[in-house]
Chains A and B, each alone.
Chain A
Amino acid sequence: MNRWAIGLLILAFFSVIISVSTGDEVSFSEALSVLWHHLTFGYGTVPDPIADRIVWRLRLPRALLALIVGGGLGIIGAAMQALVRNPLAEPYILGISSGATAGASLFYLGFLPPLISKAVSMPVAAFAGGLCAILIVYSVAGGRGHLSVTRLLLAGVAVASLMGALSSFITLSSPEPDKLRSVLFWLLGSLHLATWSTLIWPSIAVLIGLISLLVLARPLDGMLTGDESAHSLGVQVESIKRILIILASLVTGSIVAASGAIGFVGLIVPHAVRSVTGVTHRRVLPASFIAGAVFLLWADLVARAILPGAQLPVGIVTALCGVPFFLILLRRSNYGFG
């Protein structure tokens, strides 16, 4: 563990504490006593039931969802950038998010019947949509035996537009127009539906993503050098690409189902991280995970706090705070890529 990793973890821990104790409704010390009560399995004074619900059942799952979603977007962004060897890549660029959004909107707006429960069928619809989008992109780009990065990017942008149009069509022709308001909020990316039970699927998917990518850290480094030299380094380039694409659909699908399409985290975070850690994936991946998690947590804190009692979709905040930061970074830093 390097110094920066420990630093980021400490930052993440204190960010969670700040996040769950910020807000008009519960005082800082009250929030801490609720946390203490639960983390010590009932030690200390029994907290006020309202404060208990706010801190333990609303704010904490929401903070954890922010960590999971932000972390997931961070690592998938890093992996996508290695996959296409292009610093522009993120889950959005290959059409995965748009496909996942289209799939989830089909379900959300009543076109698809709920299979078992909403908690299960929405991630499944989103995963299917994302996978469907990436399979189209993949079959276009991988036509002649190997995957062409140029065609992958171009097809990704095209399919993203197609899926975006499909989502808009679904939204406007919904059989349940009363749900449009909710869908709009969710489409812009929001963590407001977080509960302990909605955390399960994204956590599993992101954990699978993180572990698999860490296992693949060395081949990913190789891929940055280009297909041929990666091959000569012994990297199974084509199968790694396939695995990356499936992982990206899985993680992005489950994230989109939980929180809608939150933009810019996957693009910005890996770049910010590389300017500190260098390009080695053994460092970039864990750092992107923690940095993405902390970034989204703070963005959500802003989204919650900016209007008293009310909230904004966090996707708006990530763009508003993230993009200027990214531009400054772009102007200042001068790291090599690949």
Chain B
Amino acid sequence: MRQVYLLCLLFIGCSSNLPGERTVEDDLGRTVVLPPTIERITTLAPSVTELAFAAGAGSKIVGVSTFDDYPPAVDTLPRYDMLPTDFEAIVALDPELVLASEQVNSLKDIDIFSSVGIPVYFVAVNTLPDVTRAIRALGELLGTTEAATRRAIQLEDSLAQLSALTVSLSERPRTLFLIDDVTLYAFGQGSYIHDMIDLAGGHSITQTMTTRFPVLTDEFVLDARPEVIVGSFGLSYDATKLVSHHATWDIVPAVLSGRVYGLHPDPYLRPGPRLVSGAWALAKILHPDAVIDP
């Protein structure tokens, strides 16, 4: 089957599909040709694994990267390296489709997968609504529309509930989200993190920065005077460490009022379904009095 497909590419061009094949467009606008049903998939990033599970297609995943650790069902799956991509191990698992993340995977990987006839579908989550859009799209792609829709509605309800609690709050603390506490990596323009902060009732101070992952200067933070600093440093993060790395921040409002918090990194650094719980956790930090669990 695969050889025939390759021959098609070589001699006829990609326009003529085999019977039953479908053509879909992925989040990068690429045209992806898929077999009629898909039973075996592999994922190239933890975030797309989580999205595929949310779409009800977890049982179709036959292998995940060594970075994957969620949901617990991935523990028993075969693993492959992603630094660099271990193509041989992935091809050996014989997937009918490879799911990739626009945030972390390289477009160059496509060439190698397509040379062995495995289609690659890229998922891009750059806003909070993108999460449920991606879940629905994956449900349709993998034939699990019903489960995907159910989960998507559940997540949207949860977001709506949070929004109802925070939308009318007049006090919206200026919030800085940091990825690293020494070298100040942060989220710039066009990231879902600003949606999360906004929904949680805050105002993200890096949302207009022109690069995607800017490294902030200490003076930017001093001048922007964030009222809350949160970072993907882990829940046990000792907030005094931040000031020991950045001694001049002793007069930043967030530091003065003791509002520096470490967060569990995954719900913020993995653009998947857990962004929703991440937004709730953030809201409880920003507005402890107004936001309580539903």
Contacts and interface: CB of A to CB of B under 8 A. Distances in A.
Interface of A: 23-26, 49-50, 53-54, 57-59, 172, 178, 181-182, 185-186, 192-193, 195, 304, 307-312
B242 to A, nearest CB: 14
B8 interface: no
Contact of A310 (B182, B216, B223, B251): B216
Contact of B214 (A24, A50, A310): A310
The 10 closest A-B pairs by CB, nearest first: A310-B214, A25-B223, A53-B248, A309-B220, A182-B183, A54-B219, A185-B183, A57-B248, A25-B219, A58-B218
A310 B212 CA distance: 11
Given A307-B211, A308-B209, A310-B215, A53 B222 contact: yes
B222 A25 contact: yes
Interface of B: 83, 179-180, 182-183, 185, 188, 206, 209-211, 214-220, 222-225, 247-248, 251
B83 to A, nearest CB: 6
A25 B248 contact: no
A50 B222 CA distance: 6
A58 B182 contact: no
B239 to A, nearest CB: 17
Given A59-B219, A309-B220, A311-B215, 12 more contacts: A26-B219, A26-B223, A50-B225, A53-B248, A58-B218, A181-B183, A182-B182, A185-B183, A192-B217, A193-B182, A310-B214, A310-B215
Contacts of A186: 183
A309 B180 contact: no
A195 B249 CA distance: 13
Contacts of B218: 54, 58
Contacts of A178: 180
A39 B58 CA distance: 66
Nearest to B245: A193
A53 B248 CA distance: 6
B49 to A, nearest CB: 18
Nearest to B220: A309
A304 B217 contact: yes
B183 A309 contact: no
A142 B258 CA distance: 60
24 contacts: A23-B219, A26-B219, A26-B223, A49-B251, A50-B223, A54-B223, A54-B248, A57-B247, A58-B222, A58-B248, A181-B185, A182-B180, A182-B182, A182-B183, A185-B215, A192-B183, A192-B215, A195-B247, A307-B209, A307-B210, A309-B214, A310-B209, A310-B217, A311-B215
A307 B206 CA distance: 13
Given A182-B183, A186-B183, A309 B217 contact: yes
A26 B248 CA distance: 15
Contacts of B224: 309
A274 to B, nearest CB: 35
B38 to A, nearest CB: 32
B183 A310 contact: no
A309 B216 contact: yes
A23 B220 CA distance: 9
Contacts of A24: 223
A310 B188 contact: yes
A181 B216 CA distance: 13
Given A57-B247, A195-B247, A172 B83 contact: yes
A57 B248 CA distance: 7
B46 to A, nearest CB: 13
A315 to B, nearest CB: 13
Nearest to A49: B251
A77 to B, nearest CB: 27
B82 to A, nearest CB: 12
Contacts of B251: 49-50, 53
Most chain B CB within a 10 A radius of its CB, from A59, A192, A310 = A310
Most chain A CB within a 10 A radius of its CB, from B185, B211, B248 = B248
A309 B247 contact: no
Nearest to A196: B247
Contacts of A26: 219, 223
A181 B217 CA distance: 15
B247 to A, nearest CB: 7
Nearest to A186: B183
A185 B185 CA distance: 10
Nearest to A193: B182
Most chain B CB within a 10 A radius of its CB, from A178, A186, A193 = A178
A181 B180 contact: yes
